[in-house]
Each structure stands twice: as structure tokens, then as C-alpha cells.
């Protein structure tokens, strides 16, 4: 299968969809991408590492941008090859990976082959095994074995974001809050002290909790403090002496993990509870005030069809953020359609993302004006 | 092993303890009891049914009293044969079954052989397999296969009650109260509706609940409404859409099951909860106002060492109560020592219960005065 990188990225997306590439079975698509980059781009050092294809320019430009996309998909569900259709008056492409994320890959590949006057040095990373356990993730392998390939002023992951810039990510903290009481036979309940009843004031606090909203670099973060599990009880005739609620605090990236713990302690202050941290991960600041990131925001806002918003979940973006590199998700397609049998991408989004990204990556900033 | 029914019931208790009779291994003790009843009592029809020994008089007396006791014990724990000792200045008998309930059996056997002028016709039931699953319970077998043997104006079970009359029993009701919400990713908690948080008002009601106390036939019943189990949660990153609390309502026997259900509905009135009854058993009124029962209460109160109190748990007493027959537990020994390795019974309680019961079962009521 030969990929034509200079063709319309819509056609290139369809060609990529038609190469099956379920996780652990990416040999064919990796070979096609490697061959296309070696034969249809100029100025790139191309390297293969396992089923990861790496390519970079070294033009001595003042800034470097990483464009990274995974080539694998979730299992096929009668949705390969892809097919074009009209959905509510809009042309779309159906197919496994059309959203997550072969349309993003197609935009990156097309731009690598067609940008004549780049504003930034570019690093391309097309990787495998993103849809399965993190230990197999190709970007994880590169971070471990070839970390210098991740260095950049901005990293753009082509994950579906509906053509919006999704930046940063929230942190997460899980705490097990427990009550203790005195066990007794339920026929003599007054001899006991019911640990489940003792959860009442905690659940009142959680019910009444008003989550903070905060703007950081133009992204609005909404925090949340949720009970995710409750448990307790010995048997049907026993007043239980132990009960617990596990809470999950999703916090904006202007708090550290320690500050998040302190906040949860304040929420439950004065209650008689055991407090055990069971899991935590730091958030990532969007970092959109850095100059390289600012340029991308400008290009997107100039286009006028989309903007900037917070990323809530933890994605590969966080790998870069943890290294101090501003990183965003930016790709065509509705992320809510990812992994679905009826996964499909609007063709206009592929074109729009290509245009916005071309404006950002090209030296002549008049491109931006042209897009207004 | 020959049992001497005319000997002091203390010695008879010791002799019974020394015949091992763990549940399902009651052949020896059953044979000894059957032989003793056949050879050392007069006026009784004696019958063997499996490992149950039944005996009854038919003197045409106006009332009939059942004396029922199980002959089996929990597994022996280095506590057979029994041994006499002095405990805090009081003489006691240690041994498996000394409390639960060979001392009660000994009192019944001794009285059957020694009461010359009975006030009531008597039915004796010595049964097996009380300490294991209800399906094996010998009294259960008799109820199913020879139910007329249970007919009486009063049933006395010789279960340990510290020489008190323990009457009636509370009812029990279990209800699963459930909340529903809307599932969402915990990173976007505001899109969900947390079913665990929705348990708060229910737990507030349970915490604030003030249980009723009520006197019935001189027995004080304390009710209780307890959460016995709480559960909910999907995974550590999901706002759950379902949670539930199972409550156990132990209610005084002046309420029917339907009235108990109605009461729980009132307690949770106005809350948005699913309501599913998972288990219920009616209580049993003590029935101590019936003439045959009144006589027993008089005899015990005349003795002055003990009185009447409510029974909280469900026991074989309830089998009789369900048939409209007043039934009580009345036997020597502290029920809290039952099933313990150091099970032991104060000798004075064996004597006191024998005296009180003899006064009740004998026609010449001057016996009661003698005991004052």
C-alpha cells in the first residue's frame, strides 16, 4: 500500500483507515508511513524504532514543534474499509480510526510533505500500541529509550479534539475516608455504634460541596469531588463497626498534589474519619503562554471556527507536560465517537485542522490573515 | 449409661454433660433419655421418632404444658467430661452443654419423674440437631411430621435464660433502599448525578432515628433501625449512578410485618428511594396474659430471684408462638456463655429453676407460698 502524502488529507485519511492496524498488528501501516516519509518529504532524518517512525528536520530554526500521533486502533467492528457518507447534510468518513486518530495522522503527514517554508523545526512521531496498556505504548518506549526525540518548544498530539486546542490536564487524587463504630447484634442495636450511620455527615459535605472553576491560560477548569465507591456491612443482623467512602478529587493544574490533599482535608475537617490516600497524579498546566504555544492559539483563533479549552482526562499530552514542554491535543473528530462502531469524522474538520496547522507551521504569517 | 432421674438435677446435669452429643451424633444420649423415661416415670406415653424422644401424660387435666429441650451441643472443646469448681465463691459446673442446655434438660427430666400431683398434663420433647441448620432441627421435624405433639396451653423451652422467663420475640424486617443518579466520568462530575451523595438524607434519617420502647405483658421491648450494609460504585473514575443501603428493622411484637413495613416507609417518607423488602419474620407476642402462662409468671415472681423479660432474638419459641401457643425460654445458665469453651452453670440456678418450675407444675399452690 502506497500512501500519497501530497493528496488531500481527506483521501489520505481514507487510505490510512483502509490499512488495518489494531494494536500489536501495526507492521503494515508502520511500513507504509515509513516509506512515504522517506520518499515524499525532504529535509527530514527518518528513523524506525520498533513500530515507531521518527522523523525530524534540523534547519536551525529558533523553535521546534513535535507532531505526534498513534497509528493503532481499537479492534475493528465491521468498519474497515472506510466509507464516505452524508450525515445531517455534512460529508463524513466512517471507519475504524477515522476519528481516533488516522485523520490527525493524515494532517501531520500531509503537512510534512507540503510545507515549503517552515516556521519551526519539526519532529514527527508516529507510534504504536496507544490503545492498550501503557507499558506497550510506543511513545512511552521513545521516552524511555530515545528521550531526546521528545525535546521541543511545543508538542501537538493529533488526538480528536473537534478541531479545538485542548490543553493541560487536571490532576486526580483518591482518598479512602473511613468511619469506625462498635459492632453489635442488630436486635440489640443500642449496644452498638453504627459506622454506616456515621457516614452521614461526610455525605452531607460531599452533597453540599461547590466545586471551584478557574481560568488558566484561557482554559476553564471545573474541579469535582465525587464519591466513587461506598462500602460497609458485616451481615444482615449486625450493626457494622466499619464503613468507608472513596472519593476522587479532580483538580485544576494550579494545585499541586499536596495542595489537593490539603483541600480534601479541609472539606472533611472536624469529621471523625480515617484518611488514606490511595492514588494520585499531578495535573499539567496548559502552558499556552509560552511563545510557541501562543502562535498556535493565534492561528486557531484567527480561523474562527474553534478555540481553546481545558483537557480533563489524562492523555499522552501529560508525558510532555511532565518534561516541562507545553503540549496540546489538536485534531479532527469528536472524541466522544472514538472507539465506537459508528466512528466517523466530518470532512470539513480535516480540512480546517490542516489549514490552521499549516498557518501555524508556515513562516509567512500572512497565512493567518488569509484564514481570517 | 444409666441416668438417675430422681437424683439431684445437678448430678443429672453432670451425667448428661458426660455423654458426648455433638449435633448429628446424639444416638447415645437419646437412648439414655428414652430408657430413663420409659423405666423411671409413670403415666407417660413414650415415643421415639428418629433422635427425638417424645413423652406425654393424658390425665384429662384442663391445661397442657410442653417442656422442650434439645440434647445436642456444639463441638466439644476439651470440656467433656464436666467438672465442678468454685467461681467467685459460687459452686459451678463446667462442661460442654452445661449451659446450653443440658441443665435445662435435667430439670425437665427430674420433674417428669418426681412430680406426684401435676397441675397440667405434660408433653416432653427432647430433640436433636438444634445447633446446626434449621432443616435438621428435631423440633422442626416434629412440627412437620407429628404437629399434634406441639399442642399445648404453654410451651417452656429450657434454653439458658439465667432463670428468668424470656418471652415473645421481636420481628425483623430487611429493606434495600436504593438511590439512582446519572453516570459520568469523574473528571466531568458536573455531567453526572452522584447516587452515593444521594444517600446523605437517608443516612441523616437513620442517624436521627429514635427507636421506640414499649412494654408488653411486663416485657420491655427496644426496637432498632440499623443500616447493615451499604454499597455503590462503578470504578475509581466514575460518578456512580446507583447506590444502596440495606436496613434491618427489629420491631416489637405489637407490630405486624405489614405495620413494620409501613413504619419504615414513614421513616424514609419524602426521600427519593427505591424500596425493596428482602427479608421479614413476624415477632411473637409474649402471651403472658394467658392463664397457663400467668401461673408460670406467678411462680417465678413468688420465688423472687428473677422475673420476666423480653426475648430479642428468634428462637424455637417462635415455632410455638406462630401456632398461637404462648412460649417462653426458661432455664439455668447465662446465655452469653453458651457455645464457649469455658461454658459453666451456677449450681444454685439449677436448683432455683427446678423449684420454680415444680411450684408451677404441681397442683397444690401452697408450694408457691412455701417458696416465698
In chain B, what percentage of residues exceed pLDDT 70?
A: 97
**Catalytic one of A26, A34, A100, A130:** A130
Cell numbers describing residue A363: 513562516
Which of the pair, A219 or A272, is modelled with greater confidence?
Answer: A272
Q: Does the CA dihedral B113-B115-B117-B118 come out positive or negative?
A: negative
In chain A, what percentage of residues exceed pLDDT 90?
A: 78
Q: Does the CA dihedral B95-B97-B98-B99 come out positive or negative?
A: positive
- Calculate mean pLDDT across residues B24-31: 97
Highest mean pLDDT among A240-249, A302-311, B335-344 belongs to A240-249
Query: For A154, how many CA atoms within 13 A lie in the half-sphere containing its CB?
Result: 28
Q: Does the CA dihedral A217-A168-A128-A19 come out positive or negative?
A: negative
Asked if the model's pLDDT at residue B367 lies above 60, the reply is no
d(C-alpha A37, C-alpha A39), whole Å = 6
d(C-alpha A156, C-alpha A321), whole Å = 11
Asked if the model's pLDDT at residue A369 lies above 70, the reply is no
d(C-alpha B331, C-alpha A196), whole Å = 37
Q: What is the mean pLDDT of chain A?
A: 93
Active site residue A266: no
Which of the pair, A314 or B228, is modelled with greater confidence?
Answer: B228
Asked if the model's pLDDT at residue A368 lies above 60, the reply is no
- B236 reaches A (C-beta below 8 A): yes
The residues spanned by each domain of chain A are 9-169+284-371, 171-281
Q: Is B31 exposed, middle or buried (0-12, 13-18, 19+ CB in 10 A)?
A: middle
Length of chain B, please? 372
Cell numbers describing residue A167: 490543553
- Calculate mean pLDDT across residues B186-197: 93
ipTM: 0.74
Cell numbers describing residue A327: 503540549
- The residues, any chain, with a CB within 8 Å of residue A105's CB and separated by 6 or more, are A13, A16, A33, A69, A70, A71, A126, A158
Residue of B nearest to A312 (CA): B187
d(C-alpha A358, C-alpha A367), whole Å = 8
Q: What does the pLDDT read at residue B169?
A: 84
Asked if the model's pLDDT at residue B65 lies above 90, the reply is yes
d(C-alpha A107, C-alpha A67), whole Å = 10
User: Could you read off the pLDDT of A38-72 as tens digits, one per residue?
Assistant: 999 999 999 999 999 999 999 999 999 999 999 99
Q: Hey, are the CB atoms on B186 and A231 less than 8 Å from each other? A: no
The radius of gyration of chain B from alpha carbons, rounded to an integer in Å, stands at 24
- The residues, any chain, with a CB within 8 Å of residue A102's CB and separated by 6 or more, are A13, A16, A17, A71, A73
Cell numbers describing residue A260: 489537593
- Calculate mean pLDDT across residues A4-8: 97
Q: Hey, are the CB atoms on B206 and A192 less than 8 Å from each other? A: no
A6 phi/psi in degrees, rounded to 5:
-85, -10
**What is B171-281's CATH topology?**
Alpha-Beta Plaits (3.30.70)
Residue of A nearest to B186 (CA): A226
Q: How confident is the model at residue A372 (pLDDT cuts 50, 70, 90)?
A: very low
Cell numbers describing residue B181: 443518579
- The residues, any chain, with a CB within 8 Å of residue B147's CB and separated by 6 or more, are none
Q: What does the pLDDT read at residue B286?
A: 85
Least confident range from A129-133, B137-141, B196-200, B358-362: namely A129-133
Q: What is the mean pLDDT of chain B?
A: 93
d(C-alpha A70, C-alpha B270), whole Å = 52
User: Could you read off the pLDDT of B257-286 as tens digits, one per residue?
Assistant: 999 999 999 999 999 999 999 988 888 888
User: Could you read off the pLDDT of A147-177 as tens digits, one per residue?
Assistant: 999 999 999 999 999 999 998 888 899 999 9
**Catalytic one of B100, B130, B166, B217:** B130
Q: What does the pLDDT read at residue B282?
A: 84
Residue B22 Cα, gap to closest chain A Cα (Å): 26
Bridge partners, B231 (sequence order): A231, B244
Residue of B199, B239, B279 lying closest to A226 (CB–CB): B239
Q: What does the pLDDT read at residue B369?
A: 42
Select the residue from B224, B279, B280, B313 to test the A interface by mutation, using most A Cβ atoms within 10 A: B224
Q: What's the pTM value of the predicted model, to 2 decimals?
A: 0.74
d(C-alpha B32, C-alpha A58), whole Å = 103
- B210 reaches A (C-beta below 8 A): no
Q: How confident is the model at residue A286 (pLDDT cuts 50, 70, 90)?
A: confident
Looking at domain A9-169+284-371, its CATH superfamily turns out to be: Zn peptidases (3.40.630.10)
Asked if the model's pLDDT at residue A313 lies above 80, the reply is no
Q: Hey, are the CB atoms on A187 and B203 less than 8 Å from each other? A: no
Q: Check if the beta carbon of residue B313 is closer than 8 Å to that of residue B169.
A: yes
Amino acid at each position: 500500500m502506497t500512501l500519497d502524502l501530497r493528496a488531500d488529507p481527506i483521501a489520505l485519511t481514507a487510505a490510512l483507515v483502509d490499512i488495518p492496524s489494531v494494536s500489536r498488528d501495526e507492521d503494515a501501516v508502520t511500513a507504509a508511513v515509513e516509506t512515504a516519509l522517506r520518499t515524499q518529504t525532504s529535509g527530514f532524518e527518518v528513523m524506525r524504532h520498533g513500530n515507531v517512525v521518527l522523523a525530524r528536520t534540523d534547519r536551525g530554526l529558533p523553535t521546534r514543534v513535535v507532531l505526534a500521533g498513534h497509528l493503532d486502533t481499537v479492534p475493528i467492528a465491521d468498519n474497515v474499509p472506510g466509507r464516505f457518507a452524508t450525515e445531517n447534510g455534512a460529508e463524513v468518513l466512517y471507519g475504524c480510526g477515522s476519528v481516533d486518530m488516522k485523520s490527525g495522522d493524515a494532517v501531520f503527514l500531509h503537512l510534512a510533505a507540503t510545507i515549503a517554508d517552515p516556521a519551526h523545526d519539526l519532529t514527527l512521531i508516529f507510534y504504536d500500541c496507544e490503545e492498550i496498556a501503557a507499558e506497550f505504548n510506543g511513545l512511552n518506549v521513545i521516552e524511555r529509550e530515545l528521550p531526546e526525540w521528545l525535546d521541543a518548544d511545543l508538542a501537538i498530539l493529533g488526538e480528536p479534539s473537534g478541531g479545538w486546542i485542548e490543553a493541560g490536564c487536571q490532576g486526580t487524587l483518591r482518598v479512602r475516608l473511613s468511619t469506625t463504630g462498635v459492632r453489635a447484634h442488630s436486635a440489640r442495636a443500642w449496644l452498638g455504634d453504627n459506622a454506616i450511620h456515621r457516614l452521614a455527615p461526610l455525605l452531607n459535605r460531599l452533597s453540599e460541596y461547590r466545586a471551584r472553576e478557574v481560568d488558566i491560560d484561557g482554559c476553564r477548569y471545573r474541579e469535582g469531588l465525587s464519591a466513587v465507591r461506598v462500602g460497609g456491612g458485616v451481615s444482615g443482623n449486625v450493626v457494622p463497626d466499619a464503613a468507608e467512602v472513596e472519593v476522587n478529587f479532580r483538580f485544576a493544574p494550579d494545585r499541586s498534589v499536596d495542595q489537593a490533599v490539603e483541600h480534601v482535608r479541609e472539606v472533611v475537617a472536624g469529621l471523625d474519619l480515617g484518611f488514606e490516600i490511595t492514588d494520585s497524579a499531578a495535573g499539567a498546566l496548559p502552558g499556552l503562554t509560552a511563545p510557541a504555544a501562543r502562535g498556535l492559539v493565534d492561528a486557531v483563533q484567527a480561523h474562527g471556527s474553534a478555540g481553546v479549552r481545558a483537557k480533563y482526562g489524562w492523555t499522552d499530552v501529560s508525558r510532555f507536560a511532565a518534561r516541562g514542554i507545553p503540549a496540546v491535543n489538536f485534531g479532527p473528530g469528536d472524541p466522544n465517537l472514538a472507539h465506537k462502531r459508528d466512528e466517523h469524522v466530518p470532512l470539513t474538520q480535516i480540512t480546517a485542522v490542516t489549514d490552521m496547522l499549516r498557518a501555524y507551521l508556515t513562516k509567512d504569517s500572512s497565512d493567518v490573515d488569509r484564514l481570517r
